[in-house]
Amino acid sequence: MDDERAAVSKLARVVHAPRTLDFLCEALQRFFIKGIRLAGDVWGDPSHPLVILQHGGGQTRHAWKRTGAVLGDIGYFAVAFDARGHGDSDWAPDGAYSQDLMVQDLQCVVAALGARSAVLVGASMGGGTSLVAAGEGAVETRALVLVDIAPLEVEGVKNIQAFMFRNPDGFASLEEVADAIAAYQPHRERPTHLQGLAKNVRLGADDRYRWHWDPRFMQGHRDLEQRQGRLEACARALRVPSLLVRGGMSDVLTDEGAREYLALAPSSEYVNIATAGHMVAGDRNDTFGKAVGEFLTRIVPPSGSVSVDRQRAILVDRLNATDLNDVP
């Protein structure tokens, strides 16, 4: 338990390192309702094309760790931040986590970065935020990458919600955390080094681990039909290049759902990663990273002196290494 406490404490310190969004907090505070502060990580040269990575519900910015590093290496300025109520970002004092507030938070991040145009990459919840921001013109968008998000299957959404509601009393050890993830995602390889899971949980005063999100996040009003209509309208309104990436094993976005999205946004490109589930980047980081990297280098060329051949080598070599999975 002492080792696990040390790991969590170390991770808590990391969020205040110079290469996090903490250096933007003063600017962010001018925009955020009730002063919510966001924690994040950045990679690459700030003068290079901006790519903003947004995670799914219940995840943290660490889902993008390797992808962000690779994008920084090949000539982009990549920014991944914890959504409000997730990871090391502040919990909303009033428990408000609506999609509109998520879009406003994204606007604040972009404003703090100089009101630049951005490539938006979003998985699940983060994809919904990105699609709304791009489709409704809330953020000046250069390109859009949606990861397993489009017209959704209700049953798949229920499965995610059931997992997030499970274990309200937390876990006695990181071993129990790993067991819960393995039961929910049996297709994934169980992590060997459990200390890496510490980034997904918080250790309470009662020495029990709980997921790294505000439990009130799951208590807000959800209307999937209304959400569906909004996302469809945003897809029709897209005027920027987009890529839809689906996990072939996903029960959240089906082949039919992908086809419906492509009919709404016919200029969008599509990649189906057959051996991945809903958390595509975590399941097959190598294939996902290569698909996104190839799309971006073609649509929004990176800056810097890295040659095209070297960019391709980085995409292959760096993304083939194994990494710990995020949740859910």
Euclidean distance between CA atoms 95 and 113, whole angstroms: 26
Query: Do residues 87 and 61 lie in contact, with contact meaning Cβ atoms separated by under 8 Å?
Result: yes
Give the pTM.
0.79
Query: Do residues 92 and 85 lie in contact, with contact meaning Cβ atoms separated by under 8 Å?
Result: yes
pLDDT(20) > 60: no
Q: What is the pLDDT of residue 27?
A: 45
Euclidean distance between CA atoms 62 and 286, whole angstroms: 16
Question: What amino acid is encoded at 246 in this protein?
Answer: R
**What are the strands, taking DSSP E only, across 139-218?**
141-147, 201-203, 209-211
pLDDT(18) > 80: no
Q: What is the pLDDT of residue 151?
A: 57
56-96 residue pLDDT tens: 888 888 888 888 888 998 899 999 999 999 988 989 888 88
Helix then strand then coil, in percent of the chain rounded to 5, is 45, 15, 40
Q: What is the pLDDT of residue 266?
A: 87
Q: How far is CA 42 from the centre of its chain?
A: 14
Q: What is the pLDDT of residue 251?
A: 59
- H or E stretch covering 29: helix 25-29
Q: What is the pLDDT of residue 39?
A: 86
pLDDT(258) > 90: no
